[in-house]
Amino acid sequence: MLTRKVAAVGAAICLLTGAAYAEPKTNLLHQWSQGSDAAAIAKLGEMFTAAGGKWEQTPISGHTANTLAKLRADVIAGNAPPAVQLKGPEIAEWNQTGKMANLDDLATKEGWDKVVAPELLPVMKPAGHWVAAPMNIHRINWIWGSTKAMEKAGIKELPKTWAEFNADCEKAIAAKLICLAHFSQDWTDATVFEVIVYGQSLDLFKKAFVEGDTAAMRSPAMVDAFKEFRLIVDKYMDPAIAGRDYDTTTGMIAKNQAAFMIMGDWQIGIFKAAGLKEGADYVCSQAPTDWAKPGFILNSDSVAFFEQSDPDYIEGQKLLAHLIMSPKFQTVFNETKGSIPARLDVDLSNGFNACQQMSQKDLQASIKDGTLVRSMAHNMTILQKYRGAIMEVITTFVNDPKMTPEQAANAMADAVEAQK
Amino acid sequence: MGNMSRADFRFIEACPMANVSAFNNAMASAPTWRGVLRKWAPILIITPSLLVSFIYVFVFTLWTFYISLSDSSLLPSYGFVGFQAYADLWANQRWKIAYENLFFFSAIYVVVSLAVGLALAIAIDQRVRGEALWRTIFLYPLAVSFVVTGTVWSWLYSPNAGIEFFVRSLGWSDFTFRLTTNRDLAIYAIIATGVWQSTGFAMALFLAGLRSVDPDIVKAAQIDGASRFRTYRKVILPSIAPIFIAVAVVLLQFAIKTFDLVVALTGGGPGIATTFPANYVYDLMFQRGQINIGAAGAIMMLAALAVVLVPYALWTVWRHRREVAARG
Amino acid sequence: MADVALNAEYLAASRAESRRYLWSRIGVYGFLAIFALIYLLPLFVVVANSFRSLPEITHNGLIGLPHDLTLRAWPQAWSKFCVSGACAGIQRNFYNSLMMTIPATVISTLLGALNGYVLSKWRFRGSELLFVCITLGVFMPGQIALMPWAFILGRLHLSNTIYGLILVHVAQGLSFTTLFCRNYYVNIPDDLIKAARIDGAGFWRIFFKIVLPLSPPILIVTVIWQFTGIWNEYLFGVVFTSGPQQPVTAALVALSTNQMNARAYDVASAAVLIGALPPLLIYFFGGRYFVRGLTQGAVK
């Protein structure tokens, strides 16, 4: 009698806690099919398997559009992926379809609201509920210098303002060096340009690139930014920027042919892979900023979660989100890549180099001073349709020497208005 | 007509004339299920394929057309909006450049492929030795995907490590060969690479056609004293005129679908100089979450195709009617 | 005397003739050789680079003969290189492609032959129109078909399976295969079919005993065309599979469009050769039949 009752109660308990018996599994859809990025995701997979989950991933090669095409195909087929690499305003857009999973319980339990950088919260919680977990924080507004090239040109330290930058470039040119190593693609051109805009006027950046205000795009401040950009493209970069690839550009710094490079912090990982040492071979600093305060343009990769019906996948999502937000993963994932954790409470003194530590300090300072912004060039602010239009104008400006700064500013505003 | 000989069909002629009358009697009696099946077999066989093709061609196209008139953005949605998407599309500088590129590329690509393919076929037809070798050399690019072709040729076009670098390393330090990095010349790189890929197909078809020209006509022309060149121009080429059309049609469908080649070779650059409609449509649909505008672009691509195909279809019908009239 | 004069004239004329012939021979072979060089250059570059070491390629550029022949790239490409989520080279992708391409090619070829047979020998009202409708599929760009296919595969519960991908390729390949086969079968004399029908042969008998034995040239053309097209297809192969099912084109794209890290040109070259090997072999061995089959069909 008793045993039967116990058995019944036991069975009831088993049914109630049935979820806990589900074996967590996941299939992460992402675009890091190669190289160090893929290795970093592999580490996530190892952690997932070690925690008892069944790990599967679908890395999609080529352009980001391919990953998004697969995401759409899966959603249309009724097979939304349990986890997918999404970032920026797209998380909000997908959230509006109502198909995303809700991670609030996990978030409250683990206190994510307190440790994630405040600028990232509206991205991960577009409608007030946690639907995504950030993996890292990238800083875009870095300037890198080749120590030997700078020595040769007589440049003592990395320029702090754009006026200093121009003066340093003159010195570099006099020493028969290329001042700014660059390769022209829509995202790299946009990166350099948004760094210029940010460095010249925080207000202009916020209005034009965060709010998408077309009046700001037509303003004299934007024309000035394009003027500086025209000077840089024509004089301080070399003519072969179209068609050059990334590793050749890194090579220009490595071989001391160029003095500076403006690129996000993943450059640290690339320098490391190329065998360059911070301090000895390259130096880093906040990109030229005319308004003399710590500034930070933020980019963040994140994993978003779509609602699932299979309890195994649901468990897997919770496990994956928990792992992504764990200090261990945040450390391991970001050390070699050059980025810093999305959690502000991780100690960077072990394994992170000086530039990365500087990055975290500047991030904190920038939050305090209210100068932190998200990146337009890396798809963190305005919708893709506006961003795409803006980037087309920027890259056309770079490749068409006849386009004047006024024309570019107006073209940018026109292009954005055409999308509205 | 094909080159099959009557000898191939000898075995059929060996079939004995069956008991015809008995057979006829059997057929005249009540229709058996076997007879019905036999009568309907062709229809049954063709129906699944027809259904699939119908869905694939017409339903998909109609769906795309409807989407271009809808309010779809991130995902397909079905609220009717009107032709706003088309207006938005044509207001875009990048679309205008892409559409122009498509026509420019298609025209030159088809014409040059035809010319080079014909030249190669004529050359091989001159009783050269090692025909199998020449044929394989010119045909193998067809076996390679556009992605690989674009990638390998982008290596060759690269000024830092490709042909320019190589020739300079041989001593000609002033040599420049910069197609893909030049805004005005990059499209020619794409055309050249496309021609490289597809000319083998044109050559194969032209060679086939040249081989099937009636030797008597050629001999007659030679007896009349026509030079080789004249013979080709006045006699041989006109008799293989249909092949020009067939090759052009196949090349055209390659041209319309140009996508992988551009992505691999120039990425649409420098800037947006070599962007093509297929690339922009893909971008709009999947990167920018503007499915309705992407659909409008896709319909415009099909419209460009119709501009070429409809006259061809009409011409075929007219030619067919003329042949029937001539025969009758 | 006159003989000698005539002879001399004749000799001079024939010498001029043979000189012209010689020059025209040189012209033809020269023309072919120049183009052959241009056509072979990429193949040479890829083969050479697969045997050169990466530092040598980075230093000496992409065009050059190997200084020291190294085979390192090949096992890397096949089974060791980290690409597409695992460090097992492209062999898994290679098998995936085989498993997808062979069934799709066989099925679409057979269906194309049947359709071509029906549309050319069993004419009924509207068969011409049907033929045109089926053939229009040749022109459909892939971007249009992506989302509708996703929807259909979802409904059929074939999404992210190899069968779904085979279905997509068969449906899209039908247009080409029907076009080729029908144009070829039109050339089979109708009298042959009539005679067989009088002999009492039905639909299937005629197909298996008459039409199919005459088909090898066009079947080879169709198989070559379909195999190459499906094997080299990237977009659908990537979007309609997941995880470890991806075809070889996905790995090739991963190797060639590497943005941020140093490109491994040597491994990429070896991978390209491995990936292109099946279609290349098919063209190599089937090239003769390709021309022959095109002679007798495909041309209308």
Q: What does each C-alpha distance from B286 to A72, A261, A366 come to in angstroms?
A: 8, 31, 34
Q: What are phi and psi of C33, to 5 degrees?
A: -65, -40
Please answer whether residues A303 and A132 qualify as being in contact, where contact means their C-beta atoms are separated by less than 8 angstroms: yes
Final residue belonging to a domain, choices C14, C44, C74: C74
**Is B303 inside a domain boundary?**
yes
B270 closest CB neighbour out of A184, A248, A389: A184
Same fold, A20-137+299-357 and A139-298+365-419: yes
CB contact under 8 A, C159 and A61: no
Mean pLDDT (chain C) is 85
**Is B8 inside a domain boundary?**
no
Instruction: Please tell me which residue of chain B has the smallest CA distance to C215.
Output: B4
Q: Which of B90-104, B232-246, B255-269, C244-258 is least confident? A: B232-246
pLDDT band at residue B20 using 50, 70 and 90 as cut-offs: very low
Cα end-to-end distance, chain A, whole Å: 73
Task: Report the percent of chain B where pLDDT is more than 70.
Answer: 88
Q: Which of A201, A192, A199 is nearest to A164 (CA)?
A: A199
pLDDT at residue A8 above 60? no
Mean pLDDT (chain A) is 89
pLDDT at residue B25 above 70? no
Are C222 and C102 members of one domain? yes
A73 closest CB neighbour out of C146, C234, C250: C146
Cα B191 vs. chain centroid, distance in angstroms? Answer: 15
pLDDT band at residue B23 using 50, 70 and 90 as cut-offs: very low
Mean pLDDT of B232-241: 78
Choose the mutation target among A66, A396, A398, A410 for the interface with B, i.e. most B CBs under 10 Å: A396
Mean pLDDT of A115-125: 90
What is the C-alpha R_g of chain C?
A: 26
Q: What are phi and psi of B266, to 5 degrees?
A: -125, -10
Mean pLDDT of C38-50: 92
CA distance B153 to B158: 8
pLDDT band at residue A7 using 50, 70 and 90 as cut-offs: low
pLDDT recorded at residue B42: 77
CB contact under 8 A, B160 and A76: no
What is the CATH code of the structural domain delimited by A20-137+299-357?
3.40.190.10
Q: What is the DSSP letter of A219?
A: S
B287 closest CB neighbour out of A64, A242, A245: A64
pLDDT in tens, C116-175: 888 887 777 777 777 777 778 888 888 888 999 999 999 999 988 899 999 999 999 988
B286 closest CB neighbour out of A69, A243, A398: A69
Residue C105: which domain range?
78-296
pLDDT at residue A183 above 50? yes
pLDDT recorded at residue B4: 43
pLDDT in tens, B176-227: 788 888 888 889 999 999 999 999 889 988 888 888 777 888 788 878 877 7
CB contact under 8 A, C260 and A36: yes
pLDDT at residue A189 above 50? yes
Final residue belonging to a domain, choices C27, C44, C74: C74
pLDDT recorded at residue A163: 94
pLDDT recorded at residue C299: 46
pLDDT at residue B19 above 60? no
pLDDT at residue B91 above 90? no
pLDDT at residue A394 above 80? yes
pLDDT in tens, C95-112: 999 999 999 999 999 999
C85 closest CB neighbour out of A35, A57, A62: A57
Mode of pairing for the β-strands spanning A302-305 and A132-134: antiparallel
B76 closest CB neighbour out of C147, C288, C300: C147
Mean pLDDT of A195-217: 93
Buried b (16+ CB within 10 A) or exposed e, A264-280: bbbbbbbbbbbebebee
pLDDT recorded at residue C256: 79
Kindly report the nearest CA distance between residue B184 and chain C, in angstroms. Answer: 23
Mean pLDDT of A298-309: 94
The tally of domains found in chain B comes to 1
| B166 Cβ contact partners less than 8 Å away, ≥ 6 residues apart | C61, C62, C63, C64
pLDDT recorded at residue B12: 37
pLDDT recorded at residue A109: 92
Question: A139-298+365-419 has which fold?
Answer: D-Maltodextrin-Binding Protein; domain 2 (3.40.190)
Mode of pairing for the β-strands spanning A296-299 and A372-374: parallel
The tally of domains found in chain C comes to 2
Instruction: Please tell me which residue of chain C has the smallest CA distance to A248.
Output: C262
Domain at C129, CATH number = 1.10.3720.10
Are C174 and C90 members of one domain? yes
Residues of A in contact with C85 (CB under 8 A): 33, 38, 41-42, 57-59
Q: Which of B203-207, B324-328, C51-55 is least confident? A: B324-328
A interface with C, Cβ–Cβ below 8 Å: 27, 29, 33-39, 41-42, 56-63, 66, 69-70, 72-74, 76-79, 245-247, 250, 266, 270, 273-274
pLDDT recorded at residue C135: 77
Four-point Cα dihedral A211, A375, A191, A396, nearest 10: -30
Final residue belonging to a domain, choices C22, C49, C74: C74
Choose the mutation target among A31, A32, A34 for the interface with C, i.e. most C CBs under 10 Å: A34
Choose the mutation target among B45, B113, B133, B145 for the interface with C, i.e. most C CBs under 10 Å: B145
Please answer whether residues B277 and B236 qualify as being in contact, where contact means their C-beta atoms are separated by less than 8 angstroms: no
Residues of B in contact with A415 (CB under 8 A): 92-93
Kindly report the nearest CA distance between residue A377 and chain B, in angstroms. Answer: 14
pLDDT band at residue B16 using 50, 70 and 90 as cut-offs: very low
| A7 Cβ contact partners less than 8 Å away, ≥ 6 residues apart | none
Higher pLDDT, A10 or A74: A74
Are C140 and C270 members of one domain? yes
Per-domain residue ranges of chain A: 20-137+299-357, 139-298+365-419
CB contact under 8 A, A418 and B271: no
Are C108 and C218 members of one domain? yes
CB contact under 8 A, B142 and C203: no
pLDDT recorded at residue A91: 93
Are C159 and C279 members of one domain? yes
Higher pLDDT, B275 or C4: B275
Helix (H) or strand (E) holding A83: strand A83-86
DSSP C181-247: HHHHHTTS-HHHHHHHHHTT--HHHHIIIIIGGG-HHHHHHHHHHHHHHHHT--HHHHHT--GGG--
Please answer whether residues B269 and A183 qualify as being in contact, where contact means their C-beta atoms are separated by less than 8 angstroms: no
pLDDT recorded at residue A81: 94
pLDDT in tens, A45-57: 999 999 999 999 9
**Which residues on neighbouring strands pair with residue A84, listed in sequence order?**
A29, A304
Are C163 and C277 members of one domain? yes
Whether B168 has its CB under 8 Å from any CB of chain A: the answer is: no
pLDDT recorded at residue A1: 52
**Is B38 inside a domain boundary?**
no
Instruction: Please tell me which residue of chain A has the smallest CA distance to C249.
Output: A61
Domain at B165, CATH number = 1.10.3720.10
Buried b (16+ CB within 10 A) or exposed e, C264-295: bbbbbbbbbbbbbebbbebbeebbebbbbbbb
Q: Which of C207, C64, C231, C233 is nearest to C145 (CA)?
A: C233
Choose the mutation target among C93, C238, C241 for the interface with A, i.e. most A CBs under 10 Å: C238
Instruction: Please tell me which residue of chain A has the smallest CA distance to B73.
Output: A93
Residues of C in contact with B161 (CB under 8 A): 57-58, 61-62
Choose the mutation target among B287, B290, B291, B292 for the interface with A, i.e. most A CBs under 10 Å: B287
CB contact under 8 A, B64 and C228: no
pTM surpassing 0.95? no
Q: Which of A301-305, B214-218, C77-81 is least confident? A: B214-218
Higher pLDDT, B1 or B271: B271
ipTM of the complex: 0.86
pLDDT at residue B14 above 60? no
Residues of B in contact with C45 (CB under 8 A): 152, 155-156
Higher pLDDT, B36 or B141: B141
